[in-house]
């Protein structure tokens, strides 16, 4: 199956700083990428959907100015958590799809801890 990578796999940052998480499709072109957030012992909640070359669509309650998503190429999407706070500590997972009739592949996730 297709491979999606995320970098970094884990990151610790100080409160008030920004952190960028990368999601890459390694062997296919991802026209659509999704960003999910999973708090400890909870389910995955969609944060936003991004299509290559256009602005991301954010789910209700997700601050677009805090969680900046860029999908500038067909193989890379980035999520930047700006001015991170401890409550942003979570497991962030991306997924990618190369079309409406194709599978959605998940990355391994990035564990963010804000101190």
Partner 1 sequence: AQKVTQAQTEISVVEKEDVTLDCVYETRDTTYYLFWYKQPPSGELVFLIRRNSFDEQNEISGRYSWNFQKSTSSFNFTITASQVVDSAVYFCALSANFGNEKLTFGTGTRLTIIP
Exactly one of 43, 60, 86, 87 binds partner 1 (CB under 8 A); which one?
A: 43
CB-neighbour burial class of residue 35 (10 A; exposed 0-12, middle 13-18, buried 19+): buried
Contact 83, 16 (CB under 8 A): yes
CA contacts within 13 A on the Cβ side of 9: 3
Residues 6+ apart with CB under 8 A from 71: 33, 50, 51, 52, 53, 54, 56, 77, 78
Q: Does 34 bind partner 1 (CB under 8 A)?
A: yes
How many CB atoms are located within 10 Å of the residue 81 CB? 22
CB of 30 to partner 1, least distance (A): 10
Q: Does 40 bind partner 1 (CB under 8 A)?
A: no
Q: Does 31 bind partner 1 (CB under 8 A)?
A: yes
CB of 54 to partner 1, least distance (A): 13
Site string for partner 1, 90-109 (x = CB under 8 A): -x-x-x-xxxxxxxx-x-xx
Q: Does 37 bind partner 1 (CB under 8 A)?
A: no
Residues that bind partner 1 (CB under 8 A): 1, 31-32, 34, 41-46, 49, 51, 91, 93, 95, 97-104, 106, 108-109, 111
């Amino acid at each position: 199956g297709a491979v999606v990578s995320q970098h970094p796999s884990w990151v610790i940052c100080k409160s008030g700083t920004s952190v960028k998480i990368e999601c890459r499709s390694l062997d296919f072109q991802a026209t659509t990428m999704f960003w999910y957030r999973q708090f400890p012992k909870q389910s995955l909640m969609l944060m936003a959907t991004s299509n290559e070359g256009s602005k991301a669509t954010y789910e209700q309650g997700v601050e677009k100015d805090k969680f900046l998503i860029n999908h500038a190429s067909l193989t890379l999407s980035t999520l930047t958590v700006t001015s991170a706070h401890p409550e942003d500590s979570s497991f962030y997972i991306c997924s990618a799809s190369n079309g409406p009739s194709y599978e959605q592949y998940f990355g391994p996730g990035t564990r963010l801890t804000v101190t």
